Structure 1
């Protein structure tokens, strides 16, 4: 995954509870994306014949490849957030571990950027899938009406 650095938002001042809440939200969103990806894969499978038609093959292949990448990235991000969540104890153990706490905050800031970028790319891919399947379905209806 390519990271585009954006302005880091006040992660230095985030409390452990706020970081925990953000991690829980990310895990919830990623779980939803994973379930949604299963739906998108089923949608694509149900229109395979139309999608492999000469007219749509290249576009379909590109979109399916993007979805496959998104599925892998969702799994990778889920693992990263779960690991990040497990390491939250560094922030609340009552010990002064300034370097470890700084690294944890840096990792949290990185996850903010990665997940934000992923969500944008995922939304674009999802929109493209719906547009393509919608087009294919409309063409199928038109063919049925003409015959």
Structure 2
């Protein structure tokens, strides 16, 4: 029994669209889960709490981009999370490198390290940010 070529073409197109839609949905759901995670939110709170880092980026507005799932800097398991978050402000962009651990007793995440690396090469340690000297005139 011969199957017409047009039917095979239709089946191929349908399969391709179905597979592409499934992959896109899975990618979206993974990104949403990562951005809603406690370790992700805590890292962004550290960034937003550092006036020097926010000023260097030109934020607000601050745009947080999707995490590159294929990047080897991103490792997450039950007890630790190491994430590289791409972001941009109105002046420049960079990556927020974070490392978090989960307390087994309370099941809560805490940020162990948070470092902002700007595109220009500047590095700001958010756990121990440099103080901003302000000049006051009287």
State the TM bucket, normalised to the shorter chain.
0.3 to 0.5
Scaled by the length of structure 2, the TM-score of the pair is: 0.38
Structure ranking higher in helix proportion: 1
Scaled by the length of structure 1, the TM-score of the pair is: 0.36
Structure ranking higher in strand proportion: 2
Q: Which has the larger radius of gyration?
A: 2
